[in-house]
A = this chain, B = another copy of it.
Amino acid sequence: MSVGSGAILVVSEANSTETAIVSSLENSGYLIDVVTAADRCLSIIKVKKPDLIIWSLLSRPDISVLGCIKSKYKNLPVILHADKDSMAQVVTLLNHDADDYFAGGESDSELLNQIVLRTLDNARKKEKMRILEQDQLAGLRVQQGLLPATPATLGGFEFAHFVRPSLIMSGDSVNYVQLGDGRVIFYLADVSGHGASGAIVSAIMSGLFQRLVRKFQHETTATSADMLDWINVELLPLNLEQHITMFLGILNGAQNALQYSNAAHFPAGIVSNDESTLFLELGGLPLGVCDTEYGYHDISIDKSFNLVVFSDGVLEIMSEESIKGKEMQLHLLVQSGNTDIDTLVDHLGLDEISEVPDDVALLTVVRKS
């Protein structure tokens, strides 16, 4: 006989019918209460706080009460005790949130015990799942608090972003901050892990970026490569299991200039100017892996400048067969003037897809003045 612990409330209009199953469950270690009037059920649940209900259909009790119980105590599992005459009712009640059924008689007490054990175990797992999900949602809120406003107009450019995590939290992140002299520093980063581990590394990255902005506030000659070098040197002593790919840019509206550096971030950013739409250069090693030096690129920007950066998660939700095909599709999207974040999210179906295999992040920059 299996050994159980917990309190069970047996609901049976005819008290005598359930004697055998009550004593069998008591022998297994459960604390049993019996209620013979279904309408007293709710008040007894409130006092006794059972872990499980066994609801007998043998004596045709008022089953409308079951609906009340399930609406009030969503996580309290209910097992139906039926005989072959009440199997049609079982089907109906299972459709109405009853958790399981037991169709045996006195001799099947071992089976009943198993069903009870399994149902209690499922209820505990459900509760654990709920707690873990709540926990990750709380983590997500912290994480969202670290992201910048979207959209935001800084230094004559409108920045916007979209992050869709594959689990609850995300390893992808973006940020953009305007310096006192009008330049804007921005990045899109992708941590090699996703979920909670990715989120922790993202949070560290977020703290680093705050420092970076202060450190380079007045260092007007520092390049985007100097900034990646600095981030890398800061990350290395942390010996993280994970690395970070990053696209980092500095926009200078007054000088019509974009400077950018890439730490192994793929796919490449896509920039549109008056006449052309181009992939930016790839390159560099991920951050936090080894001592390395980054390069940088300067490009002139026109009045109609815009920039779109995706994280590589976007490639996994696209239907084209080859990576090259996916890249060309992204290029085409941007070239066709889809540079607004909502339009891109729409086109890629990011709000409709039920699950994404990897975090997906988008960052858009549009020149406003």
Binding site for B on A (CB under 8 A): 2, 87, 90-91, 94-95, 103-104, 108, 110-111, 114, 118, 122, 125-126, 128-129, 131-133, 135-136, 138-139, 141-143, 145-146, 167-169, 193-197, 199-201, 203-204, 206-208, 210-211, 234, 237-242
Q: Which residue of B lies closest to A132 (CB)?
A: B132
Q: Is the CB of B110 within 8 A of A142?
A: no
Main secondary structure of the interface of A (DSSP, over half): helix
Q: Is the CB of B207 within 8 A of A241?
A: no
In the complex, A199 Cα to B196 Cα: how many Å? 9
In the complex, A284 Cα to B146 Cα: how many Å? 26
Can you give 26 A-B contacts (C-beta < 8 A)?
Answer: A2-B95, A94-B111, A122-B122, A125-B125, A125-B126, A128-B129, A129-B129, A132-B136, A132-B168, A135-B167, A135-B194, A135-B195, A135-B196, A135-B197, A139-B195, A139-B196, A139-B197, A139-B200, A142-B240, A142-B242, A143-B200, A145-B238, A145-B239, A145-B241, A169-B196, A196-B196
Q: Is the CB of B110 within 8 A of A91?
A: yes
Q: Is the CB of B138 within 8 A of A197?
A: yes
Q: Is the CB of B201 within 8 A of A204?
A: no
In the complex, A104 Cα to B86 Cα: how many Å? 12
List B contacts of A169 (CB < 8 A).
196
Which residue, of A133, A197, A210, A239, has the highest number of chain B Cβ atoms within 10 A? Answer: A197
Shortest beta-carbon distance, A188 to chain B, in Å? Answer: 19
Shortest beta-carbon distance, A270 to chain B, in Å? Answer: 31
Shortest beta-carbon distance, A162 to chain B, in Å? Answer: 20
Q: Is the CB of B167 within 8 A of A132?
A: yes
Q: Is the CB of B136 within 8 A of A111?
A: no
List B contacts of A143 (CB < 8 A).
200
Which residue, of A87, A132, A194, has the highest number of chain B Cβ atoms within 10 A? Answer: A132
Q: Is the CB of B132 within 8 A of A108?
A: no
CB-contact partner of A199 in B111, B139, B193, B207, under 8 A: B139
Q: Which residue of B lies closest to A202 (CB)?
A: B200
List B contacts of A90 (CB < 8 A).
111
List B contacts of A139 (CB < 8 A).
195-197, 199-200
List B contacts of A95 (CB < 8 A).
2, 114
In the complex, A131 Cα to B132 Cα: how many Å? 11
List B contacts of A133 (CB < 8 A).
132
Q: Is the CB of A196 within 8 A of B122?
A: no
In the complex, A369 Cα to B51 Cα: how many Å? 56
Q: Which residue of B lies closest to A205 (CB)?
A: B207
CB-contact partner of A240 in B125, B145, B199, B237, under 8 A: B145
Please judge, given known A-B contacts A114-B95, A142-B200, A204-B207, whether A104 and B132 are in contact too, CB under 8 Å: no
Q: Which residue of B lies closest to A99 (CB)?
A: B118
Q: Is the CB of B135 within 8 A of A114?
A: no
Q: Which residue of B lies closest to A108 (CB)?
A: B87
Q: Is the CB of B239 within 8 A of A195?
A: no
Shortest beta-carbon distance, A202 to chain B, in Å? Answer: 8
Q: Is the CB of B138 within 8 A of A111?
A: no
List B contacts of A131 (CB < 8 A).
167
In the complex, A197 Cα to B239 Cα: how many Å? 22
In the complex, A95 Cα to B113 Cα: how many Å? 11
CB-contact partner of A196 in B125, B136, B206, under 8 A: B136
Q: Is the CB of B241 within 8 A of A141?
A: yes
CB-contact partner of A207 in B146, B208, B242, under 8 A: B208
